[in-house]
Structure 1
Amino acid sequence: MASKRIADEPAYVLHRYDWSETSLILEVFTRHHGRVALVAKGAKRPTSSFRPVLLPLQPLSLAFGGDGDIRTLKSAEWVGGHVMPTGEALLSGYYLNELLMRLTARDDPHPALFEIYAAAVRLLASGDPNALQWALRGFELLLLREMGLLPALNLQTLTLKPLSPTDSYALVPEAGLQWVSDDPRHALRGEHWLALHAALASPSPLAALLRECADLLVQLQRPLRLLLNYHCGVGALRTRQMMLDLQTL
């Protein structure tokens, strides 16, 4: 039986590691097939056409084939569009990649999430320092929603009571969105959660979040980090810890 061949598939490299002296195993995020593992044979040879192309945070067009857990990369082309992010933006891109590696399953398509990831990477590559935090928080929110891990932001999770615009509510990993009375430091008012809920319901949610809720996204840094760590089963993501370590140098 002939193996299935995929051609002209939009993709990004999330992670790569050595498979042999000359080859690599890639974890790629594709538009139509989700996260896929590929072997890039001979990719480490100086003369390989794969060598300058298989870079993270760069839009690619791939062809691959095979029926096993790890398929074979046939061709890879850079499709252009933006330069490689640098500095803090580069580390932030690696952070997005780590989230996808931890929270998505192989061969589970998420075409809408692919487009959101591509848009977030373009923001990171833009060089706008404000866009960096907006892109990270917006992507985190939409990734959690796509994975079914984000509670509805227009209701109290445990009671299903509607939010009061003037009361404060916290996003708690074990209990979802709940009313708080005495510690609003990591909480938002009901009107803010409702604004986020409306932006998420937009046909272009990332654009709506950046346009209408940019200031709120910055306030969500700690609540979203706790929620992501909870669902990833870690105290801190490796890329996040690396960024903190660099800030202390």
Structure 2
Amino acid sequence: MIQRALVLHRWDFQETSLLLDVFTEQNGRVRLIAKGAKRSKSPWRGLAQPFVPVKIEYKGRSDLKTLTLLEQDTQSAQIRLTGNALYSGFYLNELLQRLLPAEAEAQELFQHYWSAIAALSEAKHVEPALRRFEWQLLEHLGAAFDWYHDADTGQPLKDLEYCYFVPDHGLVSTPRHKDDKAYPVNDIERIADWDISDEHRLKQLKWIMREALHVYLGDKPLRSRELFQQRRK
């Protein structure tokens, strides 16, 4: 079956081949061998890389499949990422590699990812696109939370002045620890409506998303985040 896809990461494999981690439209994330893709005359050489919209086909029953077709997706807009947008794209790719189970159906998330990459290529500021995809990924993982109600009591937060975020649980009216960060409920309600044009609310959303994802990422650092920090020095 030929389907749309984007390469998340690639590694050298033996002398002439590549190992690809690919996000496909129909089958989610798959691991493929692209035989001969490193050869100078291989038509796959310039296509088997991140952020290039492609169509692929593969075969095999093991966890490691064999790529049989790789061609440019001429019906999709070409994506060009540079600077902060490029490092942000690497970040999204690493999130998918770390958190998306192999060969799990993720058609809606694929569309969200495609939209996020396209937004990064066009936007002057990358943060809104990153935050939106992080939330969409949490929804896909079944880890989304209610922005409007206390996760402990179910009571509306709207009558409160501040609330607190508990990872893997949600927003609550009572902090768990004395140093928990307090979020103004008015800001939380606007964030829930994706009113994040204000820099302060955008930072608040970033903190919440980072805490929410940390539960699933664990303590292993994100390589893409380290590279971005090095670039800014």
Provide the TM-score with structure 2 as the length reference: 0.88
Alignment partner of 1:193 is 2:178: no
Deviation track 1:128-150 (CA, whole Å, cap 9, x = no partner) reads 322x1110111111111111122
Alignment partner of 1:38 is 2:16: no
The residue identity in structure 2 corresponding to 1:10 is R
Equivalent in the alignment of 2:102: 106
Contact 1:229 1:236 in 2 (8 A): no
SS, match of residue 28 in structure 1 = strand
Q: Displacement of 1:158 after TM fit?
A: 2.3
SS, match of residue 135 in structure 1 = helix
Equivalent in the alignment of 1:3: none
Alignment partner of 1:116 is 2:101: no
Contact 1:168 1:184 in 2 (8 A): no
Equivalent in the alignment of 1:76: 70
SS, match of residue 121 in structure 1 = helix
Where is the helix percentage greater, Structure 1 or Structure 2?
Answer: 1
1:154 and 1:184 map into 2 onto residues whose CA distance is 23
The residue identity in structure 1 corresponding to 2:88 is S
Equivalent in the alignment of 2:145: 151
1:165 and 1:57 map into 2 onto residues whose CA distance is 45
Runs (4 or more) in structure 1 with deviation over 6 Å come to 181-185
1:142 and 1:184 map into 2 onto residues whose CA distance is 28
Equivalent in the alignment of 1:221: 206
Alpha-carbon RMSD across the aligned residues, in angstroms, is: 2.3
Q: Displacement of 1:246 after TM fit?
A: 1.9
Contact 1:65 1:71 in 2 (8 A): yes
Equivalent in the alignment of 2:217: 232
Unmatched 5+ stretches in structure 2: none
Deviation track 1:63-110 (CA, whole Å, cap 9, x = no partner) reads 111211111111112224133201111010000000001111001011
Give the percent of matched residue pairs that are identical in Structure 1 and Structure 2: 34
Unmatched 5+ stretches in structure 1: 1-5, 200-208
| Matches for 1:174-193 after TM superposition, within 5 Å | 175-179=169-173, 186-193=181-188
The residue identity in structure 2 corresponding to 1:68 is S
Judged with a 3 Å threshold, the aligned counterparts in structure 2 of structure 1 residues 220 and 187 are, in CA distance, closer, same or farther, namely farther
Provide the TM-score with structure 1 as the length reference: 0.83
What is the aligned residue count?
A: 228
